[in-house]
A and B are shown apart, each in its own frame.
Chain A
Amino acid sequence: MATKIHAAPAASTGDLAPPRSWRRRDPLLQYGIALACLLLVAAPILPIIYQSFIDRPIYEDGQALTLVNYANLVGAPEFREVLGNTLLFAFLSTVIAQVVGLVTAILVGRTDVPWRHFFGDALLWTLFVSHLVLALGWVIMYGPSGYITGYVMQLTGGQPWNLYTIPGLSLAAGLSLAPLTYLYCIASATQQDPALEEAARVAGAGPFRILFSVTIPLLRPALVYSTILNFVIALEMLAMPLFLGGPVGLRFFTTFLYERGFEAPVKDYGLVGAAAVVLLIVITLLVLLQNRLLRNAQRFVTVGGKASRPRLLRLGRLRWAAFAFLLLYFVFGTGAVILGLVLRAFTSFLSPLVPLVDTLTWDNWTFIFSYPVYVRSIVNTLEIALVGGALGTVFIALVALLVHRSQWRWRRQLEFVALYPRAIPGILVGLGAFYAVTLMPFLGGLRNTIWILVLIYIMRYLPTGFGAVAPTLMQIGHDLDRAARTAGADWWTTCRRILAGLIRPALLSCFAILFIHFIKEYSAAVFLYAPGSEVMGTVMLSFWAQGEAGPVAALAVLQILVVAVFVVVTRKLFKVKIYG
């Protein structure tokens, strides 16, 4: 660094001053983005709340405010049953999910169980499959006339179990939710500072003592978070209660809404609205509780600066017992369910009494590719996932930039709005959007098109996508945008020219996550699809009820394939991170 100075430019000012034409662009854009977000989130909720307080369907004239819907709901003969069933189901399935999720996370993350790397990945596979598809798989394999049920019946002579009960349903749901618990716990378990366990070891604690006194207590935030998350998902789950409880008349909150608001020939709008509001309030309170419990989770921050791997717990002779547990869980919880769908998709009839080779057929596949409704549902689903995923990613990026990368005065409130859809069950998003379209004539153009689905899917997964983008945005030093601002860029230019380039990996992840969710989604579409705008989920839902098990299974397998190929390709080609 010599001190010789070249001929220096004179510090003349003015000739290189930044252009001033776009002086007021930022506030307009910022209010525009926030308003769009607010409208998107509020549009489905407000009509539901309003409907619950009026005495007739929302589209009829002469409405009067009333509380009679709530009285009717409480007085309805099935209300007690619905409430009791829902709570029992949510409680049982959450307990099963938490126990299985925690045990698998500790075995895979902290012990020397054989094949731990294989299980580490394989246990997450069910996360890519919709609950609707899983429900079908459970019915095919473990239902009263299921394939495995039939096998066991042949061996023992009697009905071995009944899936169509609340415990049976809870087991199916619980095992489907366990991977989420596993995901949160494993992330937390592998990030633990090994020094914390070493300290206990030095203090004289044995490996199992360390597990119960240090490792598991440190997982508490992950457990608390996933407990409430799974409880909420169980409360709002539609497919499993419908398929596993419906045939024997077991009613739950979501199936009650589905029957009364969608299937019934004469729909009681007020009652449905009131039930929806009750569900909305319960879930909102749970989500607020979750936020509150985790507010001072700081004392559980265990990530040390060093990247050393924690020492694995030696299981000794228990090693193979643990391996057997993981293998059984994987084979019967995930493998059999998917295998059942595949077998059903390639057979005309699936029963242990008939040899498989006699029933093998391509008919289900030729059927779904020749029958217009099926073809349309596949095309629509792919279109929604691709276009909606892209639009959603752009919109989520804008909201996240406004929340985390601006001085806009309402940014905290905007973040709350953007994250609120977490508390709205999918079936209510659909119901509310249905009301909104009915109410607002200018939305009429969207009606019966896939674009209304694109909108509500984006709304429903705003928090999910936000979660993929926000952490990356928060990791970028603020000096980078401050440098751009002083150099003469306004907020919008800074976002486009500086920040967008820096968060590209996060945007790809966001798109991938949205794509997968959009392929899987069905509950939000239930109230909104019309001839022409069917999606795979709604077709499975309605055609299963009509007894078309084979084609529906083929469609389910196709859905799994689409997601699997997408996940493999994006991971390999673009190094996109999906679930860690």
Chain B
Amino acid sequence: MAEVVLRDLVRRYGEVVAVDRVSLTVADREFVTLLGPSGCGKSTTLAAIAGLERPTSGFLAVGGETFFDSGKGVFVEAEHRNLGLVFQSYALWPHKTVQENVAFPLQLRRIARAKQKELIHEALALVEMESFADRYPSQLSGGQQQRVALARTLVYKPKVLLLDEPLSNLDAKLRDRARTWLRHLQREVGITTIYVTHDQTEALSLSDRIAVMSKGRIVQLGTPHEIYEQPADPFVADFIGTSNFFTGEVMEQAGGRLVVRLADGQAITVEGGDGMARGSRATLAVRPERIHVGGGTAGSLLKGRITERAYMGARWLYTVEVGGQAVRVETEADLASGEVALGLPERDVAVFPAPAAG
């Protein structure tokens, strides 16, 4: 059982708060992703779990063992945590062969030579790199290096697997394949995994749960579906996928529905918005692929004009001007420039209280 518990974890660098009271519990065998833009504190959080960064305050335990507790002054060094960390740069030791790289953690643990051989073989087989055992890292491709890095980490059966953007140095095709492969591997080994990335596709396809981070805090924690369908705030709505934003005034609030009037007089009806008073300002978010071109659906209709069209292969991307605002619309339909009607289904529009008008 290796449950990871973070409570009120804080990491300050002088005035800058890199990690701001992060609390998170990762269940045994769960795959949780820390997702956010660069500088959001996700990598610092991961380094704190690994023991490479000493947090300023808070509590951290893995598998029931306290690794950091500012109240009691406990801090366990990285080398005594028995966690596995795979780096974005892979960090394979260039002067050791693949075999020697994988053997190093076992040598540190004074494993008998025969047992070492067996474990190395097992780990390299797991990542399908057995035939490369005598190569040096510089003789391997990026994808191969990444798998060796994973083998080096899994060989000593760490309590938790920590992955810091492990796919970001691979090219797009390889990344897709590696993603599928990584997910299978994690299920198969059954190891608690914390994954850091800024890539929403990776997060959505790999994770059991995602923690979206911004400015050192977790702004939303939920399953990929929850994060995508019910973003907690405009930041999440924009960061996960893309969203078109509208701002307007609440005209009516009744029966779990809200009617919001935009600046140009058009109105949008949305589900939800409980507790938002009439007359207050609201921000609406709707995804480009959820907008129905030409109307044809229950919900609000907006009038607009196609100003730009871009062919994306499988789909078209249109820029539609609605009340002086550019709206992104993705659809399979091939449309000519000119007037168009946009249908916004009620349940596909997210609503948030707008920040005070400035």
Contact = CB atoms under 8 A, between A and B. Distances in A.
B95 A1 contact: no
Contacts of A2: 128, 181
B89 A8 contact: no
B87 interface: yes
Interface string B72-89: 000001111111110111
Interface in B12-55: 29, 47, 50-52, 54
A16 B111 CA distance: 8
Given A9-B122, A483-B85, A17 B177 contact: no
Given A483-B85, A486-B52, A16 B157 contact: yes
Contacts of B147: 1
Contacts of B153: 487
B159 interface: yes
Contacts of A11: 2, 29, 157, 159, 189-192
A477 B137 CA distance: 15
Contacts of A497: 104
B126 A5 contact: yes
Contacts, number: 139
A489 B108 contact: yes
B82 A13 contact: yes
Contact of A479 (B2, B54, B87, B104): B87
Interface residues of B, number: 63
A486 B104 contact: no
Contacts of B178: 1
Interface residues of A, number: 37
Interface string A266-283: 000000000000000000
- Pick the most buried of B90, B109, B122, B143: most chain A CB atoms within 10 A of its CB: B109
A19 B95 CA distance: 25
A485 interface: yes
Given A13-B2, A13-B82, A483-B87, A488 B95 contact: no
A477 B187 CA distance: 31
A20 B154 CA distance: 20
B181 A486 contact: no
B87 A10 contact: no
B246 interface: no
Contacts of A9: 119, 122-123, 126, 154, 157, 189
Contacts of B158: 13
A1 B85 contact: no
A363 to B, nearest CB: 53
Interface string A14-32: 0111111001001000000
B81 to A, nearest CB: 7
B95 A489 contact: no
Contacts of B154: 9
A8 B126 contact: yes
A383 interface: no
A5 B185 contact: yes
Nearest to A498: B93
A175 to B, nearest CB: 44
Nearest to A476: B94
A16 B95 CA distance: 25
A477 B91 contact: yes
Contacts of A489: 79, 104, 108
Contact of A6 (B82, B125, B157, B191): B125
B105 A12 contact: no
B152 A487 contact: yes
Judged by DSSP, the binding face of A is: loop
A9 B174 CA distance: 25
A480 B157 contact: no
Contact of B181 (A3, A15, A485, A493): A3
Contact of A1 (B82, B109, B111, B181): B181
A482 B184 CA distance: 27
B63 interface: yes
Contact of A487 (B104, B123, B162): B104
Given A9-B189, A479-B89, A17 B82 contact: yes
A488 B110 contact: no
A202 B123 CA distance: 59
A502 interface: yes
A484 B106 CA distance: 12
B307 interface: no
A401 to B, nearest CB: 16
A413 B95 CA distance: 32
- Pick the most buried of A12, A15, A485, A488: most chain B CB atoms within 10 A of its CB: A488
B64 to A, nearest CB: 11
Contacts of A480: 91, 93
A42 B110 CA distance: 41
Contacts of B51: 485-486
Given A5-B126, A9-B122, A502-B95, A488 B157 contact: no
Contact of B83 (A10, A12, A407, A486): A486
Contacts of A477: 89, 91
B82 A18 contact: yes
Interface string B156-194: 111100100000000000100110110011001111100
A482 B188 contact: no
Nearest to B177: A1
A528 to B, nearest CB: 41
Interface in B204-240: none
- Pick the most buried of B122, B154, B157, B191: most chain A CB atoms within 10 A of its CB: B157
A6 B151 CA distance: 13
A501 B180 CA distance: 36
A8 B188 contact: yes
B124 to A, nearest CB: 10
Contacts of A13: 2, 63, 82, 157-159
Contacts of B78: 482, 485-486
B110 A19 contact: yes
B156 A8 contact: no
A485 B192 CA distance: 20
Contacts of B162: 486
Contact of B157 (A12, A26, A487): A12
A490 interface: yes
A26 B78 CA distance: 13
Contacts of B109: 16-19, 488
A482 B43 CA distance: 13
Interface in A54-93: none
Given A8-B190, A18-B109, 12 more contacts: A1-B174, A9-B157, A11-B2, A11-B191, A13-B159, A16-B82, A17-B82, A23-B80, A479-B87, A486-B51, A488-B79, A501-B95
Interface of A: 1-3, 5-6, 8-13, 15-20, 23, 26, 407, 477, 479-480, 482-490, 493, 497-498, 501-502
5 contacts: A1-B181, A3-B184, A8-B188, A11-B159, A488-B82
The 10 closest A-B CB pairs, nearest first, are A479-B91, A483-B91, A487-B105, A485-B78, A486-B85, A11-B191, A8-B188, A488-B108, A479-B87, A501-B95
